[in-house]
Structure 1
Amino acid sequence: MTDFALDSLDLAALLSSRICHDVISPVGAIVNGLEVLEEEKDAEMRGFALDLIKKSARTASARLQFCRLAFGAAGSVGASIDTGDAEQVARGLFADDKTKLEWAVPRVLMPKNKVKLILNLCLIAAAAIPRGGLIKVAMSDTDGMTRIIVDATGPNARIASHVPQLLAGNPEGSSVDAHGIQAYYTGLVADAADLKLSLTASGDTVRIEAVPATAEAVASACA
């Protein structure tokens, strides 16, 4: 990471803003649906409102469960997380017709920062294909050397120009806003897990890869 460091209070505030942004839309839809139920007598409209409430409640719940693992403490320092739980919340988040998820991560207990990194890479991958597509998540762990690969494939797949700088902890203008905090946080988590991130693009696929930072340093020294 670079010398840039975000104040801990600002980091907490920006992450909170990001989570609220993700949840406020479905919660607002629930409120709207309840208002329709209170005022509307037409059976068809009431049925539509109930469907809206049910769908929005599922969406809000899925997003909160995802955020709990991706951003939350999820246990004390040094705690591990079941990758099966991570798969469950990721599938809940992408449970729609627009984006499909392929999960090739063995079910094991992993250090929480590595699991949080996988989930945050899924968010970056999803942002790379706003029109939808396929997200493939794969992980291998040989002799304690973890490698994570997340591919996002879809029409005009691309990574926003500011994302690589945020992942590297070197934000443009030495400032981070609520829009960029998730990518910056992902870089912090990767650093805490001693993993180095790289981004590549080929055709309609964007690949995000995390490899041990120590292994990369050794490889560079031997080159």
Structure 2
Amino acid sequence: MAADQLAALLCARLCHDLVSPVSALSAALSVLDDESSADMHEDAMDLVRDSSRQAQAKLEFARLAYGAGGSAPATLDTRELRRLTEAMFAPSKPAIVWKVETPGLEKAAARLLLNLCVLAVESVPRGGTVTIEATESGGGARIRIVSEGPRARLNADAVTALEGQPPEGGYDGRSIQPYFAGLIARNAGGRVSAHADEERVEFVALVQAPAAAA
């Protein structure tokens, strides 16, 4: 896939994610501007605060998950990854269960983890749990995320895209994100797979340690 197409589709995905909180923020501000709606101003201010938090959480998450987040190799604190993940998915139905014990993950592994969290949350739209695990060894990492809940599902286009193959109808704003997750793994000399059983979806990824600079 050409870099400009990838960038355009990721931008479309980001804009889609931001529509809800930004639209809610705009609606709340309209209420505050309406002097005849004074009795609704307190509720509107609550909506402003909530929508602002959601928009900020989505932008902070996307900056690392989809953006470069700095070009130099780095080890990222998993406490920060947990903060970003829990803030991003606070409004979501599934509960986030964080079982990452390693204190840090190399940048590619950290970005892959965040992207797989997106897929994991989307796989349990009726709620349940998303359990996130990661271990680090010699700079490489193994990530395992399990989603469990009623009617847990694994979208066929997402699996195809995760493997680096275009879905039947081509890539769009939804399938580009799993493609990008798989691309992160492949560029780091690793791999990622997804498997679904009844009311359970599992994502497993391996990422190699970055090569030492000469």
Common fold: TM-score over 0.5 = yes
Which of these residues, 43, 46, 57, is aligned with residue 48 of structure 1?
43
Q: CA RMSD in A?
A: 1.9
Gaps of 5+ in 2: 209-214
Unaligned runs of 5+ in 1: 1-5, 214-223
Once residues 71 and 145 of structure 1 are traced to their aligned partners in structure 2, the CA distance between those partners, rounded to angstroms, is 20
Residue aligning to 1:216:
none
Q: Which of the numbers 8, 12, 19 marks the counterpart of 2:14?
A: 19
CA offsets 1:96-123 (integer angstroms, 9 cap, x no match):
3722111111353322110000000000
Match of 1:193 among 155, 168, 188: 188
* Contact kept? 1:84, 1:107, Cα under 8 Å: no
* 2:164 counterpart of 1:161: no
Question: How far does residue 17 in structure 1 lie from its aligned partner after superposition?
Answer: 1.0
Q: Find the counterpart in structure 1 of residue 212 from structure 2.
A: none
Separation (CA, whole Å) in 2 of partners of 1:43 and 1:56? 20
Moved more, 160-169 or 144-153: 144-153
CA contact (8 A) 1:158 1:206 kept: yes
Q: Does 1:32 align with 2:27?
A: yes
2:200 to 174, 199, 205: 205
In the alignment, is residue 59 of structure 1 matched against residue 50 of structure 2?
no
2:91 aligned to 85, 91, 96, which one?
96
Number of residues of Structure 1 aligned to a counterpart in Structure 2: 209
Paired residues of 2:108 and 2:188 also in contact (CA < 8 A): yes
Match in the other structure for 1:118: 113
TM norm structure 2: 0.90
TM-superposed CA distance for 1:43, in Å, is 4.1
Q: In structure 2, what is the Cα distance between the partners aligned to 1:37 and 1:46?
A: 6
User: What displacement does 1:77 show?
Assistant: 3.3
